[in-house]
A = this chain, B = another copy of it.
Amino acid sequence: MLDWEKIYATRAKRMGASEIRELLKLLDQPDIISFAGGIPDPALFPNEAFQAAYNDILSGPEAGQALQYSVSEGYPRLREWIVKRMRARGIDADLGNIFITSGSQQALDYLGKLMLSPGDTALVSWPTYLGALQAFNAYEPRYDRLDLSRNVEPQAYAAAAERAGSRVKFAYLSADFANPTGESLTPMEREKLLDIADALDIAVIEDAAYRALRYEGERQKTLLAMDCERSGGIENTRTLYCGSFSKTLSPGLRVGWVCAATPIIKRLVLAKQAADLHSPTINQMAIARVAEADFEDQAEKINTVYRERRDAMLKALSDYMPAGVDWTRPEGGMFVWLTLPESMDAAALLPVSLKTAKVAFVPGNAFYADGSGRNHLRLSFSCSAPEVIDEGIRRLGAVLTEELAAVA
């Protein structure tokens, strides 16, 4: 019998099970109020529009093309739609700047694959999207903390990398409604990030997965749009914009995209050709049809529902949370991020909450590259009705009140 451990590459050591994903499997039980998931509400999916789209595709002249092998860069009609959308955001993109991926998770995988040799440094925020760490981990990077709230000299990142025998390859972050905090970068922080990237001469991966989910406030410029302005056009930019239809139309179809300068788009196309040939054409065709006909209406529909749920969660937090607990007030996205007193450990709190309150959340340490952040937790409001949110937060508030009393 083969000892599989002996046969694995060194990178396999860092491709372990994610605590949080294992956890999520256990948390979705019917009698539990779960704020743990970070998924769209399936009741909001445009099922009928998709049904009409698949029918149209498979009964029409594109049926053969829908089921056949295709080009790695993606379905041109969908890429055209994306071009228009990017242009409306001040980005001078053309068809050659758009690359279709199987969700933005795949974009992160391919970008890690293209840029990270073992030991290379990726700058990420503390906390950051867990799935980005998982995607990059397969390429054995070193992480350093990108902190835009303090005045860190750009060269400090380079110097720290050099001391570790490494070099910085890119900064990764979500500028709008980040997972897990729900927060967005201010315009000044966006400029600062691009200043750092310029000074270090590195790439920037802009994860825009939640960008369309805005419930209040003014739309901010994307990092890529700012980069275009600063550098004189998309071909001079260093920003790799990763978009997704997962939060707006459907995550199950796995359709996302990268918008960037053509040299790296060409590399991504080659990476995809070698890795899975192309994303399923039929789903790209369906997304193109539904996006063309319904994108704005669909975005408005989900934003109306999610806004109400966010409001319900913020109100409930303010009604039920004990003193000493703080939280973010996101203008969009799916998450609120709680900060407990330093002495508390959200991972230890979870079983208590599940048992006594039947409320689930995700402990914060999962989102830290160094496993710190134990006094934080993530709540998602996307899949619960306002009255359920109120009840769940009331119960969680009671648990926290009791725990804080025990600590005091």
Question: What 11 additional pairs, Cβ within 8 angstroms, besides A51-B58, A65-B252?
Answer: A2-B202, A4-B264, A6-B201, A7-B169, A7-B202, A15-B271, A40-B68, A67-B251, A67-B252, A102-B280, A137-B274
Q: CB of A318 within 8 A of chain B?
A: no
Q: Within the assembled complex, what's the spacing in Å between the Cα atoms of A137 and B17? A: 26
Among B105, B169, B236, B270, point to the contact of A276 (Cβ < 8 A).
B105
Q: CB of A149 within 8 A of chain B?
A: no
**Does A39 contact B276, Cβ atoms closer than 8 Å?**
no
Of listed A3, A7, A65, A116, residue having the most chain B CB within 10 A: A7
**Does B252 contact A138, Cβ atoms closer than 8 Å?**
no
Copies in the complex: 2
Produce 1/0 per residue, A16-52, CB < 8 A to B: 1110010000000000000000011011010110110
Q: CB of A289 within 8 A of chain B?
A: no
The count of residues in chain A whose C-beta lies closer than 8 Å to any C-beta of chain B is 88
Residues of B near A12 (CB, < 8 A) are 114-115, 267
Produce 1/0 per residue, A223-238, CB < 8 A to B: 0000000010001111
**Does A68 contact B109, Cβ atoms closer than 8 Å?**
no
Shortest Cβ gap from A280 to chain B (Å): 5
**Does B273 contact A21, Cβ atoms closer than 8 Å?**
yes
Shortest Cβ gap from A279 to chain B (Å): 7
